[in-house]
Chain A
Amino acid sequence: MTSVETAPKSGRPPTRAEISDRERGERRLGLLLSAPAVVVMLLVTAYPLGSALYQSLFSYRLTAPDDRRFVGLGNYATALTDPLFWQTVVTTLIITVVTVGVELVIGFGLAVVMHRAVFGRRTVRTAILLPYGIVTVISAFAWKYAFDVQSGFVNSWFGLGDYAWFSDRWAALFVIVLSEIWKTTPFVSLLLLAGLAQVPRDLGEAATVDGATAWQRLKRVTIPNMKAAILVAVLFRTLDAWRIFDNVFIMTAGQEKTQVLSFLTYQQIITRTALGLGNAVGVLLFLSVVLIAAVFIKGFRVDLSQVRGDR
């Protein structure tokens, strides 16, 4: 959703005056060609965002349009001083950190398998990517029913009797996190596979000749050379995990303190039809997403063009 362009620092010509006519024409053409996309972007993202910002300044119910009144930043104050908001932030943070961390490790392992697979390469890749092709809502239902006391098989497999997974905060979060990991690890491994493919083979061979162990090769050669791909994978997954909704909506509907930020927004806007308060929470969610993206791009210097393999 965010398109970030970081100009290469070294590539800029030393003086601005030397732009040729042809170059200027090409630039104009470039602007013209991208204009329709920019206009569409403005229509579908800037307008709703502006509208959300505007509505967040009112106390406003969809079902009581006549009672609308201006409250300034009051909705933001309400949200930011509500313990529920911070409890939701913590829950979202836990889900994000755990899923991204685990997915990175498993995803790397799967990427290596896909990279190294000598025979049955297509089968291996298809098998690994399969969960990612399943609609999240459907996978959420599948996991919910698997852990359900009446219809599930998990309890009988592990001899847990009638343990109610969704009646406890941590057990419910465990299932939510597990299904999220199962579903999106293939995405991480796909990005990491692209990174692995970029690591020059001769570097590893040279290290082997110098007597490096497999662990040393991984730590000193492979990972540093695919740092960009790893950071892109972490950034994308962090943003996705931060906005998690479907799993929570289907499995617990936010009960037992499993509410996440997107669900909190949904509750206020859709269920309560409290458009003002809900949009304030939505704007806060948006700002947190921008913050995460900014930290990664500025702080870790993630170059998004790297993921495509062009330097």
Chain B
Amino acid sequence: MVGPVGRFARVTRAARVARAGPLRAGVALALLAGGLTACGGGGGIPTLNWYVNPDNGGQAKIAAACTKAAGGKYRIKTSLLPSDASGQREQLIRRLAAKDTGVDLMSLDPVFVAEAANAGFLRPFTASEAQPLTEGVFDSAVQSSTWEDKLYAAPFWANTQLLWYRKSVARKAGIDPNAPDFTWDKLIDAAVRTNTTIGVQGNRYEGYMVWINALIASAGGRIISDAEKGDEAAIEIDSPAGRQAAGIIGKLARSTAAGPTLSTDIEEQSRATINGPRGGFLLNWGYVWRAEKGDADAGAINKNIVSDLGWARYPRVNPQQESKPPFGGIEIGVSAYGEHRDGLAIEAVRCMTSPASMKQYMLDEGNVAARPAIFDDPDILKEFPMAPLMRDSIAAAAPRPATPYYADVSGAIQNRWHPPASVNPNTTPRESARFIREVLRDKALL
């Protein structure tokens, strides 16, 4: 709702210029009324408000491209959400719970689709609308956008984490991170041997949950099942897989492979560790490649770091069991309260998530497309030499649990598993299972 406020500021300025009392009031009223109608109409062309997570302007570019392609049928305006996933969710939920008609489209973290869908905040796509939005799209992305067998959001970009490493360090440690049986244990031992660090996201926030979930899934387990039962879902974190995950986190956090700020590191801080003097390994999203190249070009880091940078699939927990890398990205939801929810908004989503838009967004932002076919595109392969690995990782990725109570589940786990150095395989999974249940039943504070 930036528009009307700006208009209003202009009103007061105009009012100050106008000297005569009645005239002033008249001018103000007229301008104000103009501002209010503009909120809905935008001078004839309907405006679709798209709430986006902050990026480097890639979504605004897509908005402009789709506005142009619409040929005057609609106009897409972007509004920025807070920078972290939890903050984005908080703002969207507040607006949608108040039935804000100023939201038409929104960039949603996949883990919040179930919650918003269950609350009736999202307009589901009909089967025929869903078909072009899901055809040729990663299964994991479609699965994350679906709630109770209906598609509630359109996959826009998919994300996964890779193991980024310094080739020189791997050589020194005598390991091959791309070996099929490369495990977390081997990784931690190699880092300890070479006195280097493994950058991970250990802050008490959603990124830490990503790590925990990927470890549990890689060990063949799940955090919860029967999610559609809401607060009565089955909690399975206290399992052999949960204990293995806890063992890895505790071992890493208490070893010299942990950076000094492991328990407060988010994506960018952990990325900085691989550029530091003890940099060795990093578990992080696909954006790292672009970010490292950008930093090297800007002179912020040594150019040699980029040529020394290797990548491998997310490490395994058990040597005989394929890893399940994390899944992330953004899906586009259509608000159930927007004026154009049944017509123009749907058209706009089709344009925003088209293969061309996804490819453009990947080239602009370094964020990974949700359609596997794009990874064979020569432009993409040239820019992203690791594209095939990303594609295979996303295809094998394990989404975090889809539940309307996701914020509670994730918050409860973060609470009991933080700080990482305190994680104990014998107690933490059991403790957290009990705690999740209490939180879901409103019997504990978070």
Partners in one complex: yes
The distance from the CB of A122 to the nearest CB of chain B, in whole angstroms, is 31
Q: Out of B116, B119, B272, B442, name the residue touching A276 (CB < 8 Å).
A: B442
Q: Are A64 and B86 in contact (CB under 8 A)?
A: no
List the B side residues contacting A164 at CB < 8 Å: 260-261, 263-264
Of the listed stretches B286-294, B336-344, B403-411, chain A binds: B403-411
- Contact partner of B442 (CB less than 8 A), chosen from A59, A62, A264, is A59
Query: For residue B204, which residues in chain A have a CB less than 8 angstroms away from its CB?
Result: 253-255
* Smallest beta-carbon distance A42→chain B, Å: 23
Give CA–CA (A71, B230) in the complex, Å. Answer: 19
Report the minimum CB–CB distance from B250 to chain A (whole Å).
16
Chain A residue nearest to B116 in the complex (CB): A63
The answer to whether A75 touches B442 (Cβ under 8 A) is yes
Q: Are A150 and B90 in contact (CB under 8 A)?
A: no
Given A271-B407, A273-B93: A163 and B445 interface contact (C-beta under 8 Å): no
In A11-70, which residues have CB < 8 Å from any B CB?
59, 61-65, 67
Q: Mark A234-278, 1 if CB is under 8 A from B, else 0.
A: 000000000000000000111110000000100110111110110
Q: How far is the CA of A75 from the CA of B83 in the complex (A)?
A: 32
**B264 close to A166 (CB less than 8 A):** yes
A212 within 8 A of B: no
Partner of B93, one of A63, A78, A150, A162: A63
Of the candidates B404, B419, B443, the one having the most CB atoms from chain A within 10 angstroms of its own CB is: B443
One of A62, A71, A149, A277 near B97 (C-beta < 8 A): A62
Is A79 interfacial (CB-CB < 8 Å)?
yes
Interface of A is mostly: mixed
A273: which B residues are within 8 A, CB to CB? 93, 97, 407
Contacts of B408 in A (CB 8 A): 272, 274
B37 in contact (CB, < 8 A): no
Q: How many residues of B contact A (CB 8 A)?
A: 34
Whether A256 touches B419, Cβ cut-off 8 Å, given contacts A63-B119, A164-B264, A267-B446, is yes
Chain A residues, Cβ within 8 Å of B230: 64, 67
A268 with B446: CB separation less than 8 A: yes
Cα A264 to Cα B442 with chains together (Å): 14
B97 contacts A84, C-beta separation under 8 Å? no
With both chains docked as a complex, state the minimum distance between the C-beta of A125 and any C-beta of chain B, in angstroms: 33
Q: Is there an interface contact between B115 and A63, defined as CB atoms closer than 8 Å?
A: yes
Q: Does B239 touch A at the CB level, under 8 Å?
A: no
**B205 within 8 Å of A by Cβ?**
yes
Within 8 A of A (CB), among B393-446: 404-405, 407-408, 411, 418-419, 439, 442-446
A272 touches B446 (CB 8 A): yes
Residues of the B chain whose Cβ atoms lie less than 8 Å from the Cβ of A167: 260-264, 419
A118 to chain B, nearest CB (A): 43
CB-nearest residue of chain A relative to B264? Answer: A166
- Residue interface mask A217-233, B partner, CB < 8 A = 1: 00000000000000000
A-B contact count (CB 8 A): 91
A252–B443 CA distance with the chains assembled, in angstroms: 25
State in angstroms the CA–CA spacing of A163 and B261 once bound together. 8
Total count of chain A residues near the partner, CB < 8 A: 37
Contact (Cβ within 8 A) B119 A65: yes
* Distance in angstroms between the alpha carbons of A79 and B442 in the assembled complex: 10
Report if B67 contacts A (CB, 8 A).
no
Contact assessment for B407 and A253 in the assembled complex, using a CB-CB cutoff below 8 Å: no
Determine the chain B residues whose CB is within 8 A of the CB of A62 once the complex forms. 93, 97, 119
Docked pose: A79 CA to B418 CA in angstroms: 22
Q: Does B118 contact A (CB under 8 A)?
A: yes
The residues in B between 274 and 310 inclusive whose CB is less than 8 angstroms from any CB of A are none
Q: Are B445 and A268 in contact (CB under 8 A)?
A: yes
Distance in Å: Cβ of A121 to nearest Cβ of chain B: 36
Q: Is A85 an interface residue (CB 8 A)?
A: yes
Q: How far is the CB of B74 from the nearest CB of chain A, in Å?
A: 29
B207 to chain A, nearest CB (A): 13
Quick check: is B269 within 8 A (CB to CB) of the other chain?
yes
- Distance between Cα atoms of A286 and B94 in the complex (Å): 23
CB distance from B238 to the nearest CB of A (A): 21
* Chain A positions within 8 Å of B261 at CB level: 149-150, 162, 164, 166-167
Which residues on the A side are within 8 Å of B411 (C-beta)? 267, 271-272
Tell yes or no: B146 within 8 A of A by CB.
Answer: no
CB-CB under 8 A from A85, the residues of chain B are 445
Q: How far is the CA of A268 from the CA of B93 in the complex (A)?
A: 14
Is there contact, CB below 8 Å, between B418 and A264? no
* Known contacts A85-B445, A149-B260, A63 near B404 by CB under 8 Å: yes
- A202 interface hit (Cβ, 8 Å): no
Are the CB atoms of A63 and B418 closer together than 8 Å?
Answer: no
Question: Is B53 part of the binding interface, using a Cβ–Cβ cutoff of 8 Å?
Answer: no
Tell me if A82 counts as interface (CB < 8 A to partner B): yes
Q: Is A175 an interface residue (CB 8 A)?
A: no
* Residue ID in chain B nearest A71 by CB atoms: B442
Q: Are B260 and A271 in contact (CB under 8 A)?
A: no
Note all chain B residues with C-beta closer than 8 A to A162.
260-261
Q: Is the CB of B443 within 8 A of A78?
A: yes
Q: Please, how many angstroms separate the alpha-carbon atoms of A41 and B94 in the complex?
A: 25
Q: For residue B203, which residues in chain A have a CB less than 8 angstroms away from its CB?
A: 255
A281 within 8 A of B: yes
Q: In the assembly, what is the distance between CA of A277 and CA of B444, in Å?
A: 9
Cβ contact within 8 Å between A255 and B115: no
Q: Which residue of B lies closest to A161 (CB)?
A: B260
Contacts A63-B118, A64-B119, A273-B93 given; does A253 touch B205 at CB 8 Å = yes
Q: Mark B365-406, 1 if CB is under 8 A from A, else 0.
A: 000000000000000000000000000000000000000110
User: Could you jot down 10 A-B contacts, CB within 8 Å?
Assistant: A63-B404, A64-B119, A75-B442, A84-B446, A164-B264, A166-B264, A253-B205, A256-B263, A268-B445, A272-B439
Which 10 A-B residue pairs are closest in the complex by CB-CB distance? A63-B119, A255-B204, A162-B260, A164-B261, A167-B263, A164-B260, A84-B445, A82-B445, A59-B442, A166-B264
Other A-B contacts than A71-B442, A267-B446, 18 sampled, CB-CB below 8 A, are: A59-B442, A63-B404, A64-B230, A78-B442, A79-B445, A84-B446, A150-B272, A164-B264, A167-B260, A167-B264, A255-B203, A267-B411, A267-B445, A268-B445, A270-B94, A272-B411, A273-B93, A281-B445
Which of A's residues lie within 8 Å of B, judged by CB? Answer: 59, 61-65, 67, 71, 75, 78-79, 82, 84-85, 149-150, 162-164, 166-167, 252-256, 264, 267-268, 270-274, 276-277, 281
